[in-house]
A and B are shown apart, each in its own frame.
Chain A
Amino acid sequence: MFIRLVTVALIVLTIIISHSFPWLKTPVIFSLCNGLAVLGVIVLIRAGQVSFGHAMYSCAAGYMVVFLARAYQLDGLLLIGLATSVATVFSALLGLFIVRYRGIFFGMLNLAFSMVLYSIISKFTTITGGTDGLSFTRPPLAGFVLERDAFETALLYVVLACALICGLLAQRYFESAPGQSLAAIKTNETRLEYLGISAKHVFWMGYLFSGFLAGLGGSLFAIAQGLVTPEAGYWVRSGEFVFIAILGGSGHAIGAYLGAFIFEFVRFYAAALLTGAWQITLGTVLIVIIFLAPEGLVGMLTRFRLPARR
């Protein structure tokens, strides 16, 4: 109940703030896109696995958007759909290998694959634009050709809708049988096998879903930025996703978005106010969170909820 309240408050706040302060639209859109990718990371964290390469799916989707947008004048929504599908298929294929690994090795293998993708994108300058990336002109959204301001407002609602739907879907997935089995991988994979459940299959489905979320976040991000750079697939980006996931907490889907907002906010102001010391600030925030609230912001919210229930 409390979390539902927070969700509604968050949506209302997002809308109000973005309209009162137009400049906040971009960071809000970026946060929500990040939140989607983080949600993907959270899916895997529920299985006790941390991917240090999930930005590769965002990045792949981003490049798909650019390639398609430059080659054919497609609608923005179509671009998002196609790019996300490609990222999902990509994660399904890589997932076939990756789901065999656990712990550090799982993280490492994701990292290695993402670095391969990153290096390839940076290398094939003629196709990918190298490190400067590729830009594209604003696509129409649902058939409407919009000016930047209107476009961003429209995109904000698209992103918000995606975030909301995916948040709900993720939450339902967490509570479903495959989702519960996924979480069981974290504590006892052996027992899962002894129940006759294929941990690999369960994990593969989770991986696929997380690839989908990261891809969706990445394609929306690309549309919002009008530009994709290989930076979007660098391991530091993946690290950021994990950072945000821990910050927000993996107990509930809302954690991804809460974390993303706080992260963007802290980095934003740390960079603006303490030029040259934003990493210290972020690092300190992370340590404080881990020591004081290891379950993240969501953990704090649920703890807040418990006494009311009794």
Chain B
Amino acid sequence: MTTEMFILATLDGLSAAALLFMVALGLTLIFGVMGILNVAHGSLYAIGGYVAATLGLAIDKFGLSPALYLPALFLAAILIGPLLGTLLEVGLLRRILGKEHVLQLLVTFAAFMILEDVQRLVWGTQPYFVSNVMNQFGNTDVLGITYTNYQMIVLPVVAAVAYYGLRYFLTKTWLGREVIAMTFHREVATAMGVNAKLVSLLTFVIGAGLGTLGGALASPSTALLPGVGADMIVQSFAVIAIAGLGQLGGAALAACLIGLSRSFAVYLMPELAVLTPYIIMVLVLLVRPEGLFAATSMRRI
């Protein structure tokens, strides 16, 4: 492996990691606070993408300014994330908080199945592809290889902003601290006056928003079609399992691990590229059963 290849693989790996991280960030945040692994997060990703593509098409159709392409992606995430997030939280998740983990997981799985069909009913089965934004940002040549600025710069920057923004919110604001308090001990936090319902809703909406944002940002570079959500959710599961559930910073590292290992595999052992997320997950869990960054918990006796 030459230095040149090393640089190329790193660039590819990071842009893939950025998208993966954004989706996983929402997922792990929700788990940290509510203790629910939300399978429907995959649908949020897909729907975010579809809405963004629809807005992109609308901009073209009504002849609006191309300057709107990028804002439209964020608008899509802001429009649909909180809407669906609220719907899911109030309609389903709030009602299953006390139930067994299995049942909680399956409820979100059911929501995922339903939303999967809803997507097909709304957007049909033909792939959607609106790549205006990617074209708009142009290309940069690195070592003779052409990269899109969108994937190489925009995605990682947005992911970093999302991460630091979330961290700022959680540690520096009053509301954020309430969220953190909930992650440590739900009952105690509630007893100390934290409005559990509100905090849960807020967390879920933020998490859902990150999911839809991931989808919206992915839409310029990838085709949207039935099934995109399923693929994303399995990969994000791998990310948060490797990191340790509820670990935000860990998720960033795990996403990079998966993204980079996949892109390096394409150069070194292409046949293993598909397997890398799972192999990493198995290896990490075998060595650290609760993920790389989680502390082991003990039962109170």
Contact = CB atoms under 8 A, between A and B. Distances in A.
B116 interface: yes
B113 A112 contact: no
Interface string B254-291: 00000000000000000100110011011001100111
Contact of A112 (B92, B114, B245, B285): B285
A226 interface: no
Contacts of B278: 112-113, 115-116, 119
B105 A50 contact: yes
Interface stretch (A103-111, A160-168, A202-210): A103-111
Among A112, A190, A243, A282: residue with most chain B CB under 10 A: A112
B102 A104 contact: no
B106 A243 contact: yes
Interface residues of B, number: 43
A145 B289 CA distance: 50
A245 to B, nearest CB: 9
Interface of A: 45, 48, 50, 97, 100-101, 103-105, 107-109, 111-113, 115-116, 119-120, 123, 189-190, 235-236, 239, 242-243, 246, 276-280, 282-284, 286-287, 290-291, 294
Contacts of A276: 117, 120-121
Given A97-B286, A105-B290, A287-B92, A116 B113 contact: no
Nearest to A115: B278
A50 B101 CA distance: 9
B292 to A, nearest CB: 12
B218 interface: no
Chain A interface helix/strand/loop/mixed:
helix
Given A119-B275, A119-B278, A286-B109, A50 B102 contact: yes
With most chain A CB atoms within 10 A of its CB, the pick from B100, B110, B234, B274 is: B110
Contacts of B114: 279-280, 283-284
Contact of B106 (A101, A189, A290): A290
A204 to B, nearest CB: 16
A123 B245 contact: no
Contact of B101 (A104, A113, A115, A277): A104
A284 B289 contact: no
Nearest to B118: A280
Contacts of B99: 290, 294
A77 B105 CA distance: 38
A104 B106 contact: no
Interface string B8-44: 0000000000000000000000000000010000000
Closest 10 CB pairs of A and B: A283-B113, A283-B114, A286-B110, A283-B110, A280-B117, A279-B113, A112-B281, A108-B241, A279-B117, A115-B278
Interface in B227-250: 230, 234, 237-238, 241, 245
B84 interface: no
Interface of B: 37, 92, 95-96, 99-103, 105-107, 109-114, 116-118, 120-121, 230, 234, 237-238, 241, 245, 271, 274-275, 278-279, 281-282, 285-286, 289-291, 299, 301
Contacts of B241: 104-105, 108, 112
Given A103-B101, A105-B289, A108-B241, A246 B118 contact: no
Main secondary structure of the interface of B (DSSP, over half): helix
26 contacts: A104-B101, A105-B241, A105-B289, A108-B237, A108-B241, A108-B285, A112-B278, A112-B282, A112-B285, A115-B278, A119-B278, A120-B275, A190-B299, A242-B102, A243-B109, A276-B120, A278-B117, A279-B113, A282-B110, A283-B111, A283-B117, A284-B110, A286-B106, A286-B107, A286-B110, A294-B99
Given A119-B278, A283-B117, 18 more contacts: A45-B102, A50-B105, A105-B290, A108-B237, A109-B282, A112-B238, A112-B278, A112-B281, A112-B282, A116-B279, A119-B275, A235-B234, A242-B106, A243-B106, A276-B120, A282-B110, A284-B110, A294-B103
A190 B301 contact: yes
Contacts of B290: 105
